[in-house]
Structure 1
């Protein structure tokens, strides 16, 4: 049985097998959670991202790639690219769902038992918090990856934390 956990805090400090990075398509770091993961994780993560870029040209929206975690407490970082909110007119819900599914799939393929997700696409990409939370929680609870024992949602802000807390209690 998979455990769903909720933490308010900094994803770079979480001790799990893998943390998920809300990356951009370039994989070269950016703002928000992406910048924090690259800063704390150190140059090794960026170096591996550059190799992935050289091999496949970055990461498409909804897709995911995996690197080691450098100086982080985790063993791996799974980088996924969330959709920018476009009033729901660009298949954003499906793309966001794919972020979670493809991250879990990579985790499963790499023997990862515990994984932590940030609130993908809800920062500068502007995804409405409630809709993003519904997609995240529904997708991970319906996903069938029995080898993954725990999923932690890490909320940086109070609004997302309260929203996830309410929705997870309804499960």
Structure 2
């Protein structure tokens, strides 16, 4: 009798302990019909060369890592992810100890506007994200900035992926 009661309690605990948890994809309801996405080259409104291809590749990597959607060509996809790199903003995080005008660490904000459109050109989802990173300023500040772009791009594209895969 005690064993049956213990077994019933164990089964009840196992069934209720994961209440509300769902295995598999939890796409937003407005994107339930989308299974594949094409990612054309992002537009770049900044002066940084090769930034569009870097951020586009980062977006493809984020979609592939997440696994909620498949990457497809524009002809075979259910939706297109159209995005524009709007601005890059820099701000000082830390300055030199004896020279307050010389930055030693900086923040970078990469601002991206995006929208997911179907083939009837209706917007399914859209938003603005900011990929933020920080970097140390070496003797060549341009190289330091260029080396920080992949991290900022990854942060921005992961925010886009969170929105289209999970709804937040």
Give me the TM-score of the superposition, normalised by structure 2.
0.29
Higher RCO structure, 1 or 2 (CA under 8 Å, sep 6+) = 1
Instruction: Select the structure that is richer in helix.
Output: 1
Give me the TM-score of the superposition, normalised by structure 1.
0.28
Q: Could you say which structure has the larger radius of gyration? A: 2
Instruction: Select the structure that is richer in strand.
Output: 2
